[in-house]
Structure 1
Amino acid sequence: MSDETDNKGQGIALGLTNYGDRDFALYLRKSFAKSMGYSNEMLDRPVVGIAYTPSGFNNCHRHFPEMLEAVKRGVLVAGGLPLEFPTISLGEVFLSPTSLKFRNLMAMDTEEMIRAQPMDSVVLMGGCDKTVPAQLMGAASANRPAIQIVAGPMMTSRHGEERLGACTDCRRFWAKYRAEEIDGEEIDRVEGRLATTAGTCAVMGTASTMACIAETLGMSLPGTAAIPAVHADRLRAAEATGIAAVDLIRRPITPKEIITRESVENALRVLLALGGSTNAIIHLTAVAGRLGIDVPLTWLNELSETTPVLVNLKPVGANYMEDFFAAGGMGAVLRELKPLLNLDCMTVTGQTLGERLEEPLPYVDRKVIASASEPYEPQGGLVALFGSLAPRGAILKRSAADHTLFEKEGRAVVFSSLEDLAARVDDPDLDIGPDDFMVLQNAGPRSQSGMPEAGYLPIPRKIARQGVKDMVRISDARMSGTAFGMIVLHVSPEACIGGPLALVRNGDRIRLSVKNRSIDLLVDEAELERRRAALAVEEKVERRGYDKLYAEHVMQADGGCDMDFLLPTQG
């Protein structure tokens, strides 16, 4: 961090277009800027870029025009010139085949526009699941002073006497509908009551988990992760973010100084304490990877042993993000974890994490945020599994699963693709029972499906009708952060590149042990070699553009599903 306090930035003169005449380039740029009505006084100010991501295909960001005005207000008050610029926006449920496939594209867009355009610092406005990691990845690679402001979560709605919030309740009611516990009329009523305000999902899904991680890393202002989208504090936070963005110009702090191995460890601790989204492992690995920081899954397990679950929120608990905000939010969680955290980590405010946590909190609701001495669970919400089925690891959200299934051996019932799953899962003649293990193949990052949130395999209807609420499900896919169940995800290496998951056949035995952090295919090596030799060569599909680039360069889940050429060069 620079000690200079009189740094005014380069403003509009930064990164001039190359015409072979620097003075002409500045003259021409200012001339065109004046066509937008700016005065010389405004054009002499430091420039704060605002990566702006509203979209008609992104319901989570529909309040961004109002937030943008608040950010601009803060920038202007602090003496800067705010200039917003659009990037790709990723609306989680509006993308095919899945939003993860386009996260890297948004990260590239963000990085290149930060680097190419004249801005001394940048405000990252994101919220919906993949937008925040994409922006953090891009900002980390560009390494220009940056600060994150998130959309904030939705408020809950009502259905009779029940509170409803997207999207854990989406899944809960859909499971009831599949089990014929409710009828079509009721599911239609629920559909209109699940998501009724602007903002991200109302539970500790991927969006809220990444908001909390951004705050923990030090990339957003203290106390801003959990403010509801429609709360006036969200606009005040946006204004304060604009002010902070100007301060980052006068006292430059870059993402590389903030996102360090120590702050990443803090973020992993918080992820475990929240019982947060499994997706966050992939995203945090990708963000850290942009700065050459490795996040092995063994590190997650080490931290999980000593990090308690402190937050009683859906899908792990009973409450919603608006309750978390009122209960003390991230400030309360960080203070409970303080003895486990690296306190010297720098933040965008210029304070260290330790300096932030010296300030007391006025109130903490212990029904929502437990004390470290009396946690909801003594160990972290996530765990990595290794074994012959997942040599490079798999992820289980144990805090959202049925503990009676933690130590189990079962018979595999295999679905070779998402199409195969859809065609057969509700077939009355499907040979499956509640003690079997459902296995989905060919849904990983290099597959045609692009690693969708399909790991939450639906319990076959004939079993659901028996009242079965959970069973072991295994795949190389992902799961929504709002989902729950005994679901093993991110099996690596994936099936479509010949990983062991591709070798599983109906009737094979699989042994799962959360205690031993293991998942093994109980088939002898000779038989596996025979199957490996007989594996069908994947049919070549004609790809072009970004689809081709992604397919050729995306890494496995344990590498964060980033593209290999976006990692920093060694040497």
Structure 2
Amino acid sequence: MTTNTDRVQDRAARHPPRTPEDLRSHRWFGINDLRSFGHRSRMKQMGYAPEEFTGRPVIAIVNTWSGLAHCHAHFPQRVEDVKRGVLQAGGFPVEIPVMALPENFVKPTTMLYRNLLAMEVEENLRSQPIDGAVLMGGCDKTTPALLMGAASAGLPAIFMPAGPMLRGNWRGQVLGSGSDIWKYWDERRAGNITDADWEEMEAGIARSDGVCMTMGTAATMTALAEVLGMALPGSSSIPAPDANHPRMASACGRRAVELVWADIVPSDIMTPAAFDNAIRASAALAGSTNAIIHLIALARRCGVPLALDRFDELSAGVPVLADIRPSGRFLMEDFYYAGGLPALLTRLRDRLDLTQRNIDGRSLGEILDRATVWNDEVIRPLDKPVSTLDGLAVLRGNLAPDGCVMKPSAAEPRLLQHTGPAIVFDDYNQMAAAIDREDLDVTADHVMVLRNAGPQGGPGMPEWGMLPIPTKLVKAGVRDMVRLSDARMSGTSYGACILHIAPESFVGGPLALVQNGDMIQLDVPERRLTLLVAEDELARRRAVWTPPARHYPRGYGALFSAHTGQADSGCDLDFLQAAGQIAEPEIH
């Protein structure tokens, strides 16, 4: 197998050390013709002298900040920190604002817009005088979108993670964003906490800049960006308010300039073996199931044909070692002080390809030689894991012929083999209207089914997969049930939730044929999800099934619906999946 060390060495052999004339920006600024006159004059219009931007790598600081991007509220200052590093290394920094995707605020879901942000990143880098980039992201979809866009652009780039927020606090109890919301919401519905208690939590659960401090999608994806080699070692778990964070940002700026001179691009770093490392690391972290979709999409942008079954194959037998909520007890701040991601990877050393290179130029083996676990409670030894249950399982069967996923470690063990009658909701609003009804005909043995929540049905595959337990059951003490859907769920969620069922119901997948009372069998050890209905009956139902109307008649939503893939293919747009550098623009 070709490693990224081989790729970097091959590139160095093909390309001698670069000169200022080799820079992409030289085509805009360095040529003595009418076009370059116009380009230089506009730079001078902004107050820049030619010696500032000619003959120097132009580094785009791709910023996903906005006034509603709560997790990225510190990014205006981090831009200045990155600029400092770029200038120190002899580059010319330019801030390029791109679409912000603040989780919670964007409806129906940020996932609808991940591909749009990836397109925006790619086109910004392609169309302007950019030599390299620092990618500033962290909140759930920003990390994969930035990496996807940069991979397709084929320019040198480094990822700067936003960092987790500080621990939440309520009446002396540590709160974790997302995970504790779900837990205490059930307690409120059960009448065990008051409205005043709930309001106090609102003010204590998110108390600093940064992304969710649980092992949600944000923490998972920034960690995997580091495992893939696109972020500096140890950078993904630095808390956003920590003084190490701006120092890391400045280091990203310096390294971006060096990457341009070395002509190292994302596909040199993100190799098949790097993705295998990321899958194993995600299992040990009990990472978000959303990572599966994002890694598949990103891998295919890099020319790596990553398939869903690879996750099950590589995750099998990898114990959960990060004792972080929702699967564990601690939070990302604790993880950072325990040694962070490099420390955790030392526990997996024998399962990783140590030849893979980080964006800083070192191999993974060299990085792990200097890493230490400082707290065995937070980062568990192999013989004392958080759980020996798989952090991920890929299931198949007549309900999910193209696969679906589950986190066994986050479910009550009794539910890993379960057969029960279906209670079906055709959409989220129907489910939300019914869930609090005292007369809802449901028991703890039922299998809750939500459909029309996939890539096209949602639209955008919202995080509706952790269906709420019906209120009458919550009051009776039930805290987990088998729930299945073609939706995603937040990485901060938990429970016996089967997700990403493909193909989705909206396009006629088998989920569309389930009826109330149908028996559904879940067998996680056997990796099976089965609708216990005869094939001739399913054929009859399929013959009378009518496709729903499309959600969007125009705009990006219509483009997304016409071209998005299913969950098992990464939900990328079909015309963006091909690997390879984009064509260089004509300069006029």
Q: Relative to 1, partners in 2 of residues 1:59 and 1:400: Cα closer, same or farther, differing over 3 Å?
A: same
1:503 aligns with 2:513: yes
Amino acid at match of 2:68: F
**1:71 alignment partner in structure 2:** 82
**1:82 alignment partner in structure 2:** 93
Within 1, Cα distance between the matches of 2:20 and 2:382? Answer: 44
**1:162 alignment partner in structure 2:** 173
**2:489 alignment partner in structure 1:** 479
Residue pair 2:25, 2:131 contacting (<8 A) in 1 also: no
Match of 2:127 among 116, 124, 127: 116
Match of 2:276 among 249, 265, 270: 265
Match of 1:492 among 486, 502, 510: 502
Q: Relative to 1, partners in 2 of residues 1:448 and 1:318: Cα closer, same or farther, differing over 3 Å?
A: closer
Match of 1:247 among 247, 258, 267: 258
Q: Relative to 1, partners in 2 of residues 1:81 and 1:569: Cα closer, same or farther, differing over 3 Å?
A: closer
Shifted more, 22-31 versus 238-247: the winner is 22-31
**2:395 alignment partner in structure 1:** 385
TM-score by length of 2: 0.94
1:42 aligns with 2:52: yes
1:25 aligns with 2:19: no
1:279 aligns with 2:282: no
Residue pair 1:13, 1:26 contacting (<8 A) in 2 also: no
Match of 2:25 among 13, 29, 34: 13
Once the two structures are superposed, what CA deviation does each residue of 1:14-34 show, in whole Å capped at 9, x if it has no partner?
4549xxx97211111111111
Match of 2:566 among 556, 560, 567: 556
SS at match of 2:319: coil
Match of 2:326 among 306, 315, 319: 315
Residue pair 1:11, 1:43 contacting (<8 A) in 2 also: no
Within 1, Cα distance between the matches of 2:121 and 2:251? Answer: 22
Residue pair 2:288, 2:491 contacting (<8 A) in 1 also: yes
The structural deviation recorded for 1:358 is 2.6
**1:99 alignment partner in structure 2:** 110
Shifted more, 318-327 versus 192-201: the winner is 192-201
SS at match of 1:272: helix
Amino acid at match of 1:401: A
Once the two structures are superposed, what CA deviation does each residue of 1:177-213 show, in whole Å capped at 9, x if it has no partner?
1222112121111112111111000101000000100
Residue pair 1:10, 1:46 contacting (<8 A) in 2 also: no
Once the two structures are superposed, what CA deviation does each residue of 1:425-458 show, in whole Å capped at 9, x if it has no partner?
1111111001110000110001143211001111
The structural deviation recorded for 1:12 is 7.3
In structure 1, the gaps of 5 or more residues are none
Within 1, Cα distance between the matches of 2:22 and 2:66? Answer: 31
Residue pair 1:99, 1:130 contacting (<8 A) in 2 also: yes
Count of residues paired in the alignment: 566
1:537 aligns with 2:547: yes
Residue pair 1:14, 1:119 contacting (<8 A) in 2 also: no
Q: Relative to 1, partners in 2 of residues 1:360 and 1:475: Cα closer, same or farther, differing over 3 Å?
A: closer
SS at match of 2:236: coil
Q: Relative to 1, partners in 2 of residues 1:389 and 1:466: Cα closer, same or farther, differing over 3 Å?
A: same
**2:187 alignment partner in structure 1:** 176
Within 2, Cα distance between the matches of 1:9 and 1:495? Answer: 54
RMSD over equivalenced CA pairs, Å: 1.6
Within 1, Cα distance between the matches of 2:138 and 2:476? Answer: 39
Within 2, Cα distance between the matches of 1:308 and 1:557? Answer: 25
Residue pair 1:305, 1:379 contacting (<8 A) in 2 also: no
1:196 aligns with 2:207: yes
Match of 2:447 among 437, 450, 464: 437
Residue pair 1:167, 1:202 contacting (<8 A) in 2 also: no
**1:364 alignment partner in structure 2:** 374
Amino acid at match of 2:573: M
SS at match of 1:148: strand
Match of 2:302 among 277, 282, 291: 291
Amino acid at match of 1:403: P
**1:413 alignment partner in structure 2:** 423
Q: Relative to 1, partners in 2 of residues 1:9 and 1:242: Cα closer, same or farther, differing over 3 Å?
A: farther
Amino acid at match of 1:141: S
TM-score by length of 1: 0.96
Amino acid at match of 1:188: E
The structural deviation recorded for 1:541 is 4.8
1:141 aligns with 2:152: yes
**2:584 alignment partner in structure 1:** none
SS at match of 2:248: helix
**Could you tell me the percent identity over the aligned residues?**
46
**2:585 alignment partner in structure 1:** none
In structure 2, the gaps of 5 or more residues are 1-7, 581-588
The structural deviation recorded for 1:373 is 3.6
Within 2, Cα distance between the matches of 1:242 and 1:157? Answer: 31
Within 2, Cα distance between the matches of 1:199 and 1:364? Answer: 23
The structural deviation recorded for 1:542 is 5.1
**1:212 alignment partner in structure 2:** 223
Q: Relative to 1, partners in 2 of residues 1:365 and 1:540: Cα closer, same or farther, differing over 3 Å?
A: closer
Once the two structures are superposed, what CA deviation does each residue of 1:508-541 show, in whole Å capped at 9, x if it has no partner?
0011011001100000000000110111232355
